[in-house]
Chain A
Amino acid sequence: MTSSTVVNLVLAGITLGAVYLLMAMGLTLVYGVTKVFNYAQGSFFTWGGYIAWCLSVGVLRWNYYLAIPITILVMFVMGMVFQNLIVLPLRSKPGWDFTVIIVTLGCALVLDNLALVAFGALSKTLPNLLEGNIRYGKFAFAKHDLVMLLTSLVVLAILQVFLSKTWTGMALRAVSQDNIGARIVGLPLNLLYSYAFGIAAVLSTIAGILLVPRTLLYPEVGWEVVLKAFVVMVLGGLGNIKGTVVAAFILSIAEVFISFIFGGIWAMPIFLAGLVVVLVFRPKGLFGQW
């Protein structure tokens, strides 16, 4: 393995890691605020991609750069509606933390199959955000990859600022830290739950728009990404931002190297095995708190 290969792989890994981090933050936000693990998160990834496709390349043929913000808005609303329509009614029932897993799973499959009905099984694709490569000496980077990395980092930075400086962001953090405390200071819990789902949907959509040019778009594409994001989330320790960041990059760089040496399909099995090993010794993840 030459040094230039290593550098390329590491860079690819970092880029991938940034996107995984987006998904993982979405998952963490939802889980932290609402205590629900949203199995349908992958379907948001998929549908974000399909809606973007519909608006631009596929059906309406609008300008792609216009389609993107519209898609994001639509998905934000979809996330909020999902919470209100499906998750919220379950909270008042007994045993809701089990029921909600099954229901979100059911929703995921409904959404996936709706996509199948609507768009067919053949893979579609979204355009690169920027075409072409940048050359630097021996190295060549696709411009899209660069955009992927930068966009993810910018989005993550915005998310951080949102969470620490705005009222809504702080409210979301408060709910995730003490639900009862949040109630007694008068936080609007149901609205905040909806925001959490909406934001997570947006993060998944952005991740989708970034990754689909690489992974292609088919009804079940969301699962691999969400499962990997899950591994990141658990490995980093639920609710631990720094841990999640580290975990995202460790896993993505590992994935890239594993794919290069053994083949892409071995990434997920090795992640799973690794996750189980870690959880046995550190049930809260590498840096976990909850």
Chain B
Amino acid sequence: MVNQIRKYSLLIGTLIILAILPAFFHASTYIMNILILCLIWGVMAQSWDLILGVASVFSFGHLSFFIIGGYVCGLAAKYMGVSPWLGYLLAGMVAAIIGLIIGIPCLRLQGMYLAIVTFSLQFVLPTVIVYFGPGRSQTFSTGGSFGLENIPSPTLFGYTFNRGELVPFYYLSFVFFIVAMAVIYFIIKSPVGTAFKALRDAEPLAKTLGIDEYKYKLLVFAISAFIAGVTGAYYATYFQLISPSSMTLDVFLIVLVMVLFGGLGVYPGAAIGAFVITIANELLRPTLSWRLVILGMFIIFTMIFMSKGLMGIPDVFRSLYRRRLRQRSDRSENQE
């Protein structure tokens, strides 16, 4: 009971803080932009954690769905006049469908193979995108390596969000963030999430109970792809630009750090990780190319020493405390 109250108050407190942040930072577009990015990457990290941490699927293709979503929305807006809102939906659905197409054969593969195949998408996608750049086709162009420009931002009740006024955009992003996090939360709490917990804790039993691992994995894969696609689309309408440089290895690394830092499979660790890492990433910018070296070493450090991520810190303290207790009781035993 106390735990519940504590969790709810943490949640509400966090939401309130996030909601009033613009009051302090509205003057600085730089900071507002960072905050919006935190929210966007928060969703990306959490949805990646859904497939990687909760469902335990070695998918490294999450960023690919992000990019696909961005391009679908951008191309639809540019060449078919589709509004951003519809574009988000379209992006999500296309991403989910592609997720299914990839997932159906691949989810049957062993973890290691799946990891490499999905990882390879990182390399394949940009080259395909660049291939369909300027001059390739009469009807459309992906913009090549420069990316797709002039993607429209969403409009609500006659007001068009724009990067000149970041406070409204922030609140739109905030709403988006809350909705996405809520969806992910409900999936984890739903029978689907419970099924994965069962598969993790007692696999043979779970399977005799008829839990079809493959079907659930496929479902979560498609859902996380959908979320990634929508997020990518939103990102595209925020920056009004989407290009292959949004899915370089560096970005992949950074988002992976977010997921790991927060702790794999522990909600909402990844989102917290996203906030911390996005800010850290900005703070490290003065170091130029060393930034990525540092982040890479951070991954290594985290995996070796903090394999449960940020959410595991209470555990670390707890086990230290327990060890101290044991030592104390051992000592008093020996004295008797």
Contacts and interface: CB of A to CB of B under 8 A. Distances in A.
Direct contact of A and B (CB under 8 A): yes
Interface of A: 37, 86, 89-90, 93-95, 98-99, 101-103, 105-107, 109-110, 112-114, 116-117, 220, 223-224, 227, 230, 234, 263, 265, 268-269, 272, 275-277, 279-280, 283
A130 to B, nearest CB: 32
Q: Specify the main secondary structure of chain A where it touches its partner.
A: helix
A106 B303 contact: yes
A279 B304 contact: no
Contacts of A90: 303-304
Given A37-B116, A220-B249, A283-B109, A86 B300 contact: yes
Given A103-B303, A106-B297, A223-B123, A272 B115 contact: no
A283 B110 contact: yes
Contact of A268 (B108, B120, B293, B299): B120
Given A109-B296, A113-B292, A277 B105 contact: yes
B117 A110 contact: no
Contact of A280 (B105, B110, B112): B105
Given A265-B128, A276-B105, A276-B109, 12 more contacts: A37-B116, A105-B256, A106-B253, A106-B296, A109-B253, A113-B289, A223-B123, A268-B124, A269-B127, A272-B117, A279-B113, A280-B105
Nearest to B108: A280
A279 B249 contact: no
19 contacts: A86-B300, A89-B304, A94-B307, A98-B58, A99-B304, A102-B303, A103-B299, A105-B299, A106-B300, A109-B253, A109-B295, A109-B299, A110-B296, A110-B300, A113-B296, A220-B249, A223-B249, A277-B105, A280-B108
A277 B250 CA distance: 29
Contacts of A234: 113, 116
B225 interface: no
Q: Specify the main secondary structure of chain B where it touches its partner.
A: helix
Contacts of B111: 98
B118 to A, nearest CB: 10
B280 to A, nearest CB: 15
Contacts of B109: 276, 279, 283
Contacts of B290: 113, 117
B131 interface: yes
A279 B260 CA distance: 29
Interface string B263-274: 000000000000
Contacts of A109: 249-250, 253, 292, 295-296, 299
B127 A110 contact: no
